Amino acid sequence: MTSSSSTSSHTAPLRLGIAGLGTVGAGVIRLLNTNADLVTARAGRPLHVTAVSARDRTRDRGVDLSGLRWYENAPDLVADPDVDVVVELIGGSEGTARAVVEAALAAGKPVVTANKALLAIHGPALARLSAEKSAPLLFEAAVAGGIPAIKMVREGLAADRLLRIGGILNGTCNYILTVMRETGKDFGTVLADAQQLGYAEADPSTDIDGLDAAHKLTILAGLAFGRPVAFNSVHVEGIRRIGALDLSFARTLGYRIKLLGMARMGETGLEARVTPCLVPENAPIAQVDGVFNAVVAEGAFAGRLMIEGRGAGAGPTASAVAADLIDIARGHTIPVWGVQATDTPPLQANPVSAGTGAFYLRLLVEDRPGVIADITAVLRDCGVSLRSMLQHTPEQNDADPYVPLVLVTHQTSEAAMQDAVTRIDGLDVVTDTPVMIRIETD
């Protein structure tokens, strides 16, 4: 190859096929149009969208699709000779999204995706395919939207042994908890706002039941610990049962409630869970509100660090997708786990009952003598030590036959706590299943 042909192939456009033109797909096209000069300069060559696919050809997405090849069947876009890189922005761990990514990697074409569900569940197989075919697979947008979380873990902390990774990983849940706390609006209204703003997944139960955060934690933990983590071993709880009452009690106790995904590698193995947590109101992570996410890492040498930014929405997510495309154009790509794929089976997280912690327990109990004695007797029998107790909220209605009661424990084993909750739930004086929330102190 002569030097002039080498130069011209380098400056030839990188041609993109985008499957999925929703919040993120349309956002990527908008960003590539708006920032065309800047992106070309940084990528060393122009990035041109040549082909697209989505469900509804007639929908107005606010971006110009004229001149682009349209595919009714997204996987067909992969074989288009004018597509060098496939961008998968459909979503979902199975079906068309998976078919598009597998077909592209099998054809040796680089893939950029924002699809955390796909990576959390099929990451090991896709990483193997990517390595076998020397086809890069990049997914910065899949974790914490616009925050360069993948780059931080896989590149910025490449030299360190990570002990802990996680944070606030779902923008929809953080938005809901923040707006409920600040305005007292009900859960359903705030969720509808989050959907309207383009934050929520196609099926928002994926967000509010904690699965989306668990997908992201699975990916992050795999990168942090250098090998894939089994998604099904991650303990997952969502925010459906957190009420205005809990947000108010948390405030009284000096905490805020956040949905945290946290993975720790200790002497006994991997701990990985997504759960609502009480965090001290002056902790840095407690200040991360609205659609903002925060990714916290702790390295043996680097110590603790936290990066914060918008975890969802068209602009931030498109920014992460386009950054991956620039990396591909520059030839700057690395293997999925930061090391070459191996056949090591995925890491299994320990059962959550093996852990310890301090807990907030909110009950609705009959307002009569002896109730507190019954409940504290259960805690005593289960070996759970009580730190404090709260009874009335400012919103308490005295006519209500049931009153809220909040118990805060000292450090205890999770197994003992689960036993205590089951027994307390069985008491006649307790109505409604107790709400148990872990207390994070650092």
Ligand X SMILES: N[C@@H](CC=O)C(=O)O
Q: Does position 217 bind Na ion by CB under 5 A?
A: no
Q: Of residues 40, 172, 218, 409, which one binds ligand X by CB under 6 A?
A: 172
Binding track, positions 138-157, relative to ligand X; x by CB under 6 A: -------x------------
Alpha carbons 295 and 309: distance in angstroms, whole number:
9
- Tell me the closest approach of the beta carbon of residue 22 to ligand NAI, in angstroms: 2
Q: Of residues 10, 55, 57, 392, which one binds ligand NAI by CB under 6 A?
A: 55
Q: Of residues 29, 49, 74, 104, which one binds ligand NAI by CB under 6 A?
A: 74
324 burial type by CB count under 10 A (0-12 exposed, 13-18 middle, 19+ buried):
buried
Say how many Å lie between the first and final Cα of the chain, rounded. Answer: 57
Nearer to ligand NAI, 53 or 130 (CB): 53
Determine the residue type at 294: A
Applying the rule CB under 6 A, the residues between 126 and 145 that interact with ligand NAI are 141, 145
Which of 140-172 are b and which e, b meaning 16 or more Cβ less than 10 Å from the residue's Cβ? bbbbbbbbbbbbbbbebbeebebbbbbbbbbbb
How many residues line the site for ligand X (CB under 6 A)? 11
Q: Does position 309 bind ligand NAI by CB under 6 A?
A: no
Give the nearest residue (CB) to ligand NAI: 22
Provide the pairing of β-strand 111-113 with 137-138.
parallel
Alpha carbons 115 and 142: distance in angstroms, whole number:
5
Chain centroid to CA 209: 12
Q: Is 216 a residue of the active site?
A: yes
For residue 23, the partner it binds in ligand X, Na ion, ligand NAI, none, with Cβ less than 5 to 8 A by kind, is ligand NAI
Of 133, 151, 185, 216, the active-site residue reads 216
Q: Of 357, 355, 363, which is closest to residue 435 (Cα–Cα)?
A: 363
Q: Of residues 71, 139, 199, 225, which one binds ligand X by CB under 6 A?
A: 199
Q: Is 20 annotated as a binding residue?
A: yes
Applying the rule CB under 5 A, the residues between 148 and 177 that interact with Na ion are 149
Strand ranges, E, within 249-332:
255-266, 269-280, 292-299, 303-310
Count how many Cα atoms sit within 13 Å of the Cα of residue 269 in the half-sphere of its side chain: 13
Candidates 224-232, 312-320, 357-365, 432-440 — which segment interacts with ligand NAI by CB under 6 A? 312-320
Alpha carbons 402 and 281: distance in angstroms, whole number:
29
Nearer to Na ion, 155 or 374 (CB): 155
Q: Does position 31 bind ligand NAI by CB under 6 A?
A: no
Applying the rule CB under 5 A, the residues between 292 and 321 that interact with Na ion are 320
Catalytic residue positions, numbered: 216
